[in-house]
Chain A
Amino acid sequence: MPHPLDARALAALAANPGCRRRALLDGAGVDKTALASKLGSPAAFGQSQFAFMRGNAFEAKVKADGGRELLRLLGIAEPGTVRVPELAAAGPEGRVARTALALREATEAGTWALLDHPLLSLEVAGSPAHLEPDAVVVHPDGRWTVVEIKSFPMIDGAADASKVGAAARQSAVYVLALERVAALTRGAEVAHSVLLVCPKDFSNLPTASVVDVRKQLSVTRRQLARLTRIEEIAAALPDGVTFDVEGCSARELEAAVESVPHAYAPECLSACELAFHCRERARGAGAVEALGRSVRGELGGLTTVGDVLAAARGEEGDADDPTVEALRRAAALRAEALACR
């Protein structure tokens, strides 16, 4: 069943594309926040109402004046007629169809158009997912530009690099989804740079910068192509597994979650609702990834804390294995240095 992939789901996809557990749960539209609470490791995400109110007020300001404000940010002072098509429709399928129609009409009309919260669909791991960018601008020449409105400030023309990076990754997914529609629309082309709109300095005046997302596009394309199909993941599950958060007991849910392999890494903490649950599992199993992906990379074939330490102490492991050898030297040097304290 398709369902909207929100910004967090997109971030989680980018942070950990290889995780089958997340893929299956997202693909099946499971409420991961509720699931995490029921498993006893509630997610720490939440939004302050101050941020929420300010974000909404800012977005409204950006979209004010029939889209003209936004076009001004794109550098268009005199846009002439600006179409702001009605996109409301029954159900997500209806909204996706309505969006595609509006895009086609606007492109044919050859004027500026602003699509406010269009709904797009994209195949993720073999299942359709819905995406809702803040806005899409249609240029008279048939180009479509994704607009991302964020509430972090751009101070002296520069915003926090990690936040811009996250916004770029998110927008790249929208661009991919738009490209599917553009492929079916004559004269349409999707811009590979997006318009990032933020408050300027310490004011609530909008300012914008054009962000090139070509790199993020190719990364995302590659990640999406590599995803294991959800049907395959589901086929590997034992019979009778369900993720009915309301209906199942915590114990049943735990077993169900456990039956799908996870790929925990600390990046999950800022992206996925199940992070604390998966972290507990990873730690419980002594997985070295819990300390970071780079740590895993350093330790060759050794995957658990116990194995690494046993190898470092010379209790286990093959002395000819270069990782084991390096670990033993590291342990000896460390011990020597600590002894002269």
Chain B
Amino acid sequence: MNKCPEQIVHYMHEYLDGDISGEHEQELKTHLASCPSCQQHMHELSKVAAFVQSASHISAPNGFVEGVTARLPKETSKVGMKRWFHSHPLLTAAALFMILMSASLFSSFNEDQHFSFTKQPNLVVEGEKVIVPAGEIVIGDLVVKNGDLQIDGEVDGNVTVINGQYMASTANVTGEIEEINQVFDWLWYKIKAGAKDVASLVDGKEDK
């Protein structure tokens, strides 16, 4: 076999892959006709293919599909709603409109005109203005309605000012700061506080 042209084995594989050119095939056949050792090689390679193909066709075991189904991630209701939201934009807009126009939300905005704030120990109140004095730390969320908020100290929580002004450097508040002055913002706030799921839906779609 040592005097055989090097490409002959390569041609054997081309032949077995079914992509041999006429020229190569002719050369291969001519060589095989005169070379017993390459004939043997070719025979063994053909046997390999037949051998591997003799493997019986097996099927997936019983209960395979159920096994897959059991392993699928469970959809959270939120994912389901989001998907629904994406595939039904019109219905969602209609639903959103219903929520926004709901009479109870409007009336609660109108009734809620008096000055109020979250009771926290170290707050100072001047008229309709709540002050977090310098050096004081308020722990927890702080909501001020129909009044102003001035932060000279620190707030370790979220700050929300509804229908009022907020004065502070952001660095003094660890949580989120929100100012709500419009009816729309107010509704928004109500929705978020009320129905977290709906809010997160709206959040995804209404991003500007």
A, B assembled together: no
